[in-house]
Structure 1
Amino acid sequence: MALIAGLQVAAIDWEALPPLPYRAPPLVTAEMHGFVAREAKAGRCPHPAGELRVDVAVLIDEAGGIRTTVPRAIQCAPVEQYAAALVAGFARGNLLPRMATGEQWYRTSLTFTLPK
């Protein structure tokens, strides 16, 4: 199972994707915020203090498993990849039953707090 797609064949229409149907919303911990803050402080993320949001597209298979996660580019590859991996972990075993019979794309986002 691929967690992060390296190449996108077509552009993702983010607004057209339905929200990822979590049973319980994910909890972004202080350690997760800390990792992103360290990446920003090290200059790997060209973002000002405040918040950093990463949108992630998620492909769910027929059985409700995660096939892949694709982060939206924010010019910060380490944080993009980190967010995509977090979303895969948050979604595993934490999705509501679906009525879809095939694969379907969804969207979600994670927001990290950066120190001012």
Structure 2
Amino acid sequence: MIAILLLQAAEPSAVPTDWSALAPMPYVSEPHMTPQLNAFVGGEVAAGRCVVPKPADRHYVVKVDVATLIDASGVIRKTVPHAISCPTVEQYAAGLVAGFARGNLMPRPSTGNTWYRATIVFDWRG
């Protein structure tokens, strides 16, 4: 029992506090944002569910960092979006990271659970 507790304590499952120190997601092919993916965020902003500064040129850019825990076999165990005061967009970004990673991660040595950082950039004209 004590050995199990020690093993669980050694697993890096707690969300890291310094996200800038996380390695980038080991994508085989970098994901590409489509107009449809950006449109969801544009709709959230237009509906007033997300408050972002309105740019003078009407060109919006919203970035969401997502910490992602990947196990030794390459399976995503947890995605945690960085708070940007817009829960729907935060969760949308976390879901996109999981989807983009499916079948698209570089093989890695079996080192246990490892945290990575992905940044999703939503870019549209409003």
SS of residue paired to 1:25: coil
- Per-residue deviation at 1:81? 0.2
Ranges in structure 1 where 5+ consecutive residues have no aligned partner: 1-7
TM-score by length of 1: 0.87
**Counterpart residue number, 2:19:** 14
Structure number with higher helix proportion = 2
Task: Give me the CA root mean square deviation.
Answer: 1.6
State whether residues 15 and 67 of structure 2, in contact with CA within 8 Å, keep that contact through their aligned partners in structure 1: no
**Counterpart residue number, 1:42:** 47
Equivalent position amino acid for 2:106 in 1: L
Alignment of 1:76-115 (within 5 A): 76-115=86-125
SS of residue paired to 1:43: coil
State whether residues 62 and 123 of structure 2, in contact with CA within 8 Å, keep that contact through their aligned partners in structure 1: yes
Ranges in structure 2 where 5+ consecutive residues have no aligned partner: 1-12, 55-59
Distance 1:96 1:9 in 2: 23
**Counterpart residue number, 1:5:** none
State whether residues 68 and 79 of structure 2, in contact with CA within 8 Å, keep that contact through their aligned partners in structure 1: yes
State whether residues 45 and 51 of structure 2, in contact with CA within 8 Å, keep that contact through their aligned partners in structure 1: yes
Give the fraction of aligned pairs with identical amino acids, expressed as a percent: 52
1:54 equivalent in alignment to 2:36: no
What is the aligned length? 109
- Per-residue deviation at 1:11? 5.4
Distance 1:97 1:63 in 2: 9
- Which 4+ runs in 1 deviate beyond 2 A? 8-12
